[in-house]
Structure 1
Amino acid sequence: MDFFSSVPLLVFGILAAAAGGWFGAAIGGNFSFGIAGVAVMVSWGILAATGDTVGFDYIAFGPFTGPHVGFAGGVAAAAYAYKRGYIDSGRDVVLPLASLGKPDVLLVGAGFGAGGFLVQQGIAQIPWFGSNTDAVALTVVLSALVARLLVGGGMVHSERKENGWAPSEKWRWLEWQEKPSQYLSIAFFVGILAAAVSIVLGHAFEGAAANAHTFTFGISAICIIFLSLGANMPVTHHMTIIGGLAAAKFMPILAGEGFSWTGEWGSGEWTAALIAVLIGAVFAMISATIAELGARWVHNRGDTHIDPPAFAIWPSTTLVLGIVAFL
């Protein structure tokens, strides 16, 4: 949907995003993100049945449950609630903030939801960069940086200035995937998983390749619900979306001239698919590394949540698409 095509449509989008941000704050940022994963699955059903991408454009990655709206609204509202002394941690993106009974907290979510929508739409209009990055993920990061600044005390907590980048019991993201041996092994296998799904979906029916990388992203997002309920799930959406994207983008290059996603494939195409899957795994590992760097550089060093996966997704997307454009 081109929200800049008319003023009424733009206002429609802003109003919808304000409601999306309010809802994300009300149920908690992580739960909002999990619902975005459900919306991705629903969007695949819509695409398969009708060939229309409205589910992706408006629902899953738009003003309804788009992470730059709902999740970002929840993150900002948690930062505000922490500043006002309503909650103990500004990094708590699990708590449904409606439970506080504070309308002002949810209004902050609404404001950041509307702002996130406008920023994402603006980024998407930037020549070359807008179409060669993940504007949703970049907006999530920018929104979180603004939210941290609103808390006061600077971007880096005074305790962290002394302790540097090393994780500690109090200042860490995910204890079970912070070592290279942990996050690289996770990324390798979920990267293969995501890349293979992207290839198969792209081959299965017309028009699927463009969004094939979102399928396993949706599953990863749904897993965040279980993480929020106390299960130490691996966080993988920054790995699956990049692994799937890399495989889908490199596949036509590897297959060569005359390649058709939905045509008859022989051993040549499946050999290309095998290589594309391995390339997807490599890029998933790159994204996992960037996420942990982001966790140590910004998330772990402050009082609010700055999302490491989003921190990794937008540059990894630009890296994949930039290389493909060069080739």
Structure 2
Amino acid sequence: MNFVTLLASFGGGIFGAALGGLPAFVFTGFAVLVGAAAVLGGSSFDFISNVAFGPVFGPHVAFCGGVAAVAYAAKKGIHGAGKDIVSGGAGFKDPMALLVGGLFGILGYLLVSVFNTIFPAGFTDNIALTVFLSNAIARLTFGKTGLFGTLSEDAQARGRFTPGGNDVWVPHQQDFGQLFIISLGVSLVTAWYALTVIGINEAYFPAAAFVGFGISAASLVFLCFGINVPVTHHMTIIASLAAIFSGSLFIGALMGVISAFLGEFASRTFFIHGDTHIDPPATAIFIMTFVLWVIF
């Protein structure tokens, strides 16, 4: 932890708030791919840690800044949807919304620094855990529905864990059959890639572990434009890590599928009935990373 990086995280939170949470996360994905290429090219600069997962595009900084900014804007009545992580906060024309994003960027940096200190290596994904906690703090600070959301009359009739109407996360992947096939496909291919790359040189671990995540995150640029692409980064990162740790394509794919269903469960627990965004993939990632730490 250092003061210069703290200031940079403040700027990263403002930048993420101005872009919007999801567009900022798309840049995380592209930055991961650049960093992976640098690893494979023999670069000595850790682009993934310092840029993709650092104060520039780290999800705990930029994405969380965007989530907090729109939650604040909804509370102030200058934006109609507190769960809207696509719209850029620059369009709210309220400097305070951007300042809130900067403050949550600082919060993200501080939380990750603390977790890096107190947890053993690999204990969980400290960035994903911080995203969940930051989103929860934004909900409790600016939202009205509480951590688990408030059920409408229709939702009470359906049941908490049955999405419908406006109470949905990603409608085109919430059906269990669809979710299974999507998760199986992306988990198989990213687990295979991870095993192939790590088999060449163990020094390529960052490129082996995170390229699937980077592709998944970058693909969400299409979601920003309303195209029905799946949300898969919680599947691909877990499938890659599980495959590397176990040396098994089957184990990698299995863990990726489990993470997919855990993400959907998290969406029905924290997201669909709430009035701000609490990220289902981040929830699945930090839980599944802990599971991998326990097993392997």
TM-score tier after normalising by the smaller chain length: over 0.9
211-220 or 102-111, larger mean C-alpha shift: 211-220
215-224 or 180-189, larger mean C-alpha shift: 180-189
**C-alpha deviation, 1:248, in angstroms:** 0.7
C-alpha contact 2:36 2:210 (8 A) present in aligned 1 = no
Report what 1:38 is aligned to.
30
C-alpha contact 1:51 1:207 (8 A) present in aligned 2 = no
Runs of 4+ in 1 over 6 A off after TM superposition: none
Q: Distance in 2 between matches of 1:293 and 1:77?
A: 26
Report what 1:259 is aligned to.
none
Report what 1:313 is aligned to.
285
1:159 aligns with 2:131: no
Please point out which of 127, 144, 148 is paired with 1:136: 127
C-alpha contact 1:124 1:131 (8 A) present in aligned 2 = no
Report what 2:19 is aligned to.
27
> 1:16-95 maps to which residues of 2 (within 5 A)?
16-52=8-44, 54-95=46-87
Q: CA RMSD in A?
A: 1.4
Structure 1: state its 5+ residue gaps.
4-9, 252-275
Please point out which of 177, 187, 190 is paired with 2:183: 187
Please point out which of 258, 265, 281 is paired with 2:253: 281
> 1:287-306 maps to which residues of 2 (within 5 A)?
287-306=259-278
C-alpha contact 2:194 2:244 (8 A) present in aligned 1 = yes
C-alpha contact 1:133 1:315 (8 A) present in aligned 2 = yes
Q: Distance in 1 between matches of 2:143 and 2:238?
A: 34
Q: Deviations along 1:133-187, whole A, 9 cap, x unmatched?
A: 1001010000000000112422322527735221112111011111211111111
Q: Deviations along 1:25-63, whole A, 9 cap, x unmatched?
A: 101100000000010011112222334352111101111
Q: 1:31 to 1:210 in 2, by over 3 A?
A: closer
TM-score by length of 2: 0.94
**C-alpha deviation, 1:206, in angstroms:** 4.6
Letter in 2 for 1:310: A
**C-alpha deviation, 1:200, in angstroms:** 1.3
Q: Distance in 1 between matches of 2:143 and 2:194?
A: 43
Among all aligned residue pairs of Structure 1 and Structure 2, give the percentage whose two residues are the same amino acid: 38
C-alpha contact 1:78 1:91 (8 A) present in aligned 2 = yes
> 1:149-298 maps to which residues of 2 (within 5 A)?
149-153=140-144, 154-155=146-147, 156-159=149-152, 162=156, 163-251=159-247, 276-298=248-270
Letter in 1 for 2:35: S
Q: Distance in 1 between matches of 2:28 and 2:179?
A: 24
Q: Distance in 1 between matches of 2:111 and 2:204?
A: 27
**C-alpha deviation, 1:203, in angstroms:** 2.2
Letter in 1 for 2:256: A
Structure 2: state its 5+ residue gaps.
none
Q: Distance in 1 between matches of 2:210 and 2:265?
A: 24
TM-score by length of 1: 0.86
Please point out which of 84, 91, 102 is paired with 1:99: 91
C-alpha contact 2:188 2:253 (8 A) present in aligned 1 = yes
Q: 1:298 to 1:278 in 2, by over 3 A?
A: same
C-alpha contact 2:40 2:207 (8 A) present in aligned 1 = no
Q: Distance in 2 between matches of 1:127 and 1:66?
A: 19
Q: Distance in 1 between matches of 2:141 and 2:171?
A: 28
Structure showing greater radius of gyration is 1
Letter in 1 for 2:73: A
C-alpha contact 1:203 1:209 (8 A) present in aligned 2 = no
Q: Distance in 1 between matches of 2:39 and 2:235?
A: 23
Q: 1:152 to 1:93 in 2, by over 3 A?
A: closer
**C-alpha deviation, 1:282, in angstroms:** 0.3
Q: Distance in 2 between matches of 1:53 and 1:139?
A: 25
Q: Distance in 1 between matches of 2:44 and 2:228?
A: 36
Q: Distance in 2 between matches of 1:40 and 1:53?
A: 13
Q: Distance in 1 between matches of 2:205 and 2:18?
A: 35
